[in-house]
Amino acid sequence: MDQSEQSSENRNGIGRRSFVTGALATAAGAAGGPLWGTGPAHAAPSLVSAAGRNVAVLGAGMGGLSAAHELAERGFQVTVYERRTLGGKSRSIPVPGTGAGGRQDLPGEHGFRFFPGFYQNLPDTMSRIPFGGGTVRDNLVPASLEVIAYKGKELRVPIPGDLGGALTPDAIRDYLNAALVAVSTVPLPQIQFFVSKLVAFITSGPRRRLGQWENMGFADFVKASLMSPEYRELLVHMFTASLVAAQPDKANTRTMGLMFEALVYSGLGLGPYGPPDQVLNGPSSDVWLTPWINHLTGLGVRFKVGWTATGFDYSGGRITGVRVTDPTGAAGTVTADHYVAALPVERLQPLLTTAMKAADPALARLDRLETDWMNGVMIYLKEPRPIANGHLIYAATPWALTSISQAQFWRGDFAAKYGDGTVTDCLSLDLSDWNTPGILFGKTAKQCTRPQIVQEVLAQVRSALPGGAALLPDSIVSSWFVDPAITGEGTPAVANEEPLLINTAGSWADRPAATTRVPNLFLAADYVRNSINLATMEGGNEAGRMAANAILDASGSSAARARLFELYVPNEFRLLHDTDDARYLLGLPNKFDVFSPYWPGR
């Protein structure tokens, strides 16, 4: 199956009564407004009839908001039901009671926001959300993704880079070798071997990627167990655990390879990609999500916050209603023409009936998907600490830490805007490994109390940074914040309200498309099959677009379909990919997947 065939299979499939809320009509609905946006290259479609055009979206995370946006622009009547807070994992989480003197509460988050240059669907949506005299997309600012702190040393990978000539496998190999030699503690033969494997992936065709690399763990692909500790720490664990919260022995090669390939192309300035690393110039909700909610409200979308889906009513091969409870706990049923389940996989599974799973085996396979934890820890500082001009990876830290110093990117004076006036910066960290013992208490993050988590994080950061103890002393730490999605910390009952999907080997076969065999049920979440193939904001946005397009198909709408952006494939490599797929069908290895001089047994 080539990439175009995969896209068709993943995005197309089987595509009535007016929306009622019965006893639940007490919840507030948003006021009506314009029925479409006027963003670039998106002409206003003609209005569709209200009959057969009512949509209930369950979940207001990235997938739900994106589906609502595309449908509302095309005149559909959309109501979004959210049990907690609008925005899902992407929302800001202000620290209650920390603002004083007219200032806002200190900003917290599920984890810092990272917008790599290969994101295309989400920035397109952001370009259609008004903000000031421009759009929300204008609030993305470039940062760097080149600094690695490693056992008291600072390593710099040259990103972005330049091939200095034509795009060829040899040029990619030479570029990567030169870039990774900067990580000088890894033996050169091992760097060369690692690069040879990446070149093999980049030159692999879509058949091999799906048939071979999808079913192989990344650690096995790069022979991590046979290599040095530095190889595992700087070239394997750093990329998988620190950046995508995946364990290298679990994460599949296709997913990891796609992300590495996209980062390389973005770093080289190839294709339609933007700067390799972009961040928001303020808290996520302030400069992105709240303007988005306001824009959707203006498009006529209604939001019901505090409403929890408790089950589907299924009869005659269709969804006939969704059982819900409102903010008061009152139970009732929501009905619509089309239903978009934009819920995390662990929230959707309990709602599915045996009959629904029998009707669509893809729904039954959802229980095979795995999740893991990646959550935020914010350290509020009394002195500015722009440790790096972008994201910083703390390689070899047991908890796979990454961070960004936020004040340098945010508009305005941090101390004048947030907290009590003494906090000047926020070191925002992502903690991606909750299962490995730390260096201070010898406990995993799950076993630590909240204060212990913070102490351990600071100890690991200081151990990784050059002069870390002097750079980040206790005297400048004002306060801290740990993602409230973590509950029961330090006890056997520890839990995470908002885990992430992990792309384990072979998991593509267990992931559903946006369409289901239940004709009026559609899925819009990051576990849906999509081109980016990773649990990300971009994946959720793309899934929302696919669900919206499927509803347009099912309703017979003549409105233009939402555009679906895909990862860049250089024209220079298309013949290589075709040739490699022929080799794959013949049982031959990739032409560039050869043993290096370091390979054991050579």
CA–CA separation, 143 and 114 (whole Å): 10
Q: Is the residue at 591 inside a domain?
A: no
Structure tokens at 65: 């908001």
Q: List, as one string, the DSSP characters of 149-171.
A: EETTEEEE---S---SS---HHH
Q: Which of 522, 538, 555 is the last residue of a domain?
A: 555
**Domain co-membership, 366 together with 378:** no
Separation in Å, CA 252 to CA 72, 118, 294: 36, 20, 39
Q: Is the residue at 580 inside a domain?
A: no
| Mean predicted confidence (pLDDT) in 494-517 | 96
**Domain co-membership, 24 together with 67:** yes
**Domain co-membership, 383 together with 490:** yes
**Domain co-membership, 457 together with 518:** no
Q: What CATH number does the domain containing 527 carry? A: 3.50.50.60
Task: Domain count for the chain, please give it.
Answer: 3
Q: Is the residue at 321 inside a domain?
A: yes
Q: What kind and span of H or E run contains 360?
A: none
Q: What's residue 242's pLDDT?
A: 63
Q: What residue type is 48 in one-letter code?
A: V
pLDDT, tens only, 4-44: 333 333 333 323 222 223 322 323 333 233 222 333 333 33
- What is the sign of the dihedral through the CA atoms of 111, 241, 203 and 207? negative
Greatest Cα pair distance, the chain, in angstroms, is 73
Q: What's residue 245's pLDDT?
A: 62
**Domain co-membership, 429 together with 466:** yes
| Mean predicted confidence (pLDDT) in 472-480 | 97
Q: Is the residue at 100 inside a domain?
A: no
**Domain co-membership, 446 together with 395:** yes
pLDDT, tens only, 141-171: 999 877 889 999 988 877 677 888 899 999 9
Q: What CATH number does the domain containing 131 carry? A: 3.30.9
Structure tokens at 220: 């096995």
Q: Is the residue at 133 inside a domain?
A: yes
Give the residue with greater pLDDT, 38 vs 547: 547
**Domain co-membership, 243 together with 318:** no
Q: Is the residue at 501 inside a domain?
A: no
Q: What residue type is 360 in one-letter code?
A: D
Q: Is the residue at 71 inside a domain?
A: yes
**Domain co-membership, 186 together with 241:** yes
**Domain co-membership, 168 together with 260:** yes
Three-state SS sequence of 93-153: CCCCCCCCCCCECCCCECCCCCCCCCCCHHHHHHCCCEECCEEHHHHEEECEEEEEEECCE
| Mean predicted confidence (pLDDT) in 370-388 | 94
**Domain co-membership, 400 together with 357:** no
Strand residues in 255-307 grouped as ranges (E): 278-280, 302-305
Listing from the earlier edge strand, what are the strands of the sheet with 54-58?
Answer: 302-305, 77-82, 54-58, 338-341, 521-523
**Domain co-membership, 491 together with 393:** yes
Least confident window among 95-99, 184-188, 380-384 = 184-188
**Domain co-membership, 406 together with 350:** no
| Mean predicted confidence (pLDDT) in 60-82 | 98
pTM: 0.89
Listing from the earlier edge strand, what are the strands of the sheet with 308-315?
Answer: 308-315, 318-325, 331-334
Q: Which of 268, 298, 324 is the last residue of a domain?
A: 268
Q: Is the residue at 597 inside a domain?
A: no
Q: What's residue 4's pLDDT?
A: 36
Q: Which of 496, 522, 544 is the last residue of a domain?
A: 496
- The domain containing residue 244 runs over which residues? 161-268
Least confident window among 155-169, 171-185, 335-349, 460-474 = 155-169
Separation in Å, CA 287 to CA 91, 280, 457, 534: 11, 7, 28, 25
Q: Is residue 465 pLDDT above 90, yes or no?
A: yes
Q: What's residue 243's pLDDT?
A: 62
Q: List, as one string, the DSSP characters of 293-328.
A: HHHHHHTT-EEEET-EEEEEEEETTEEEEEEEE-TT
| Mean predicted confidence (pLDDT) in 384-393 | 90
pLDDT, tens only, 205-259: 999 999 999 999 999 999 999 999 999 999 998 877 666 666 778 899 999 999 9
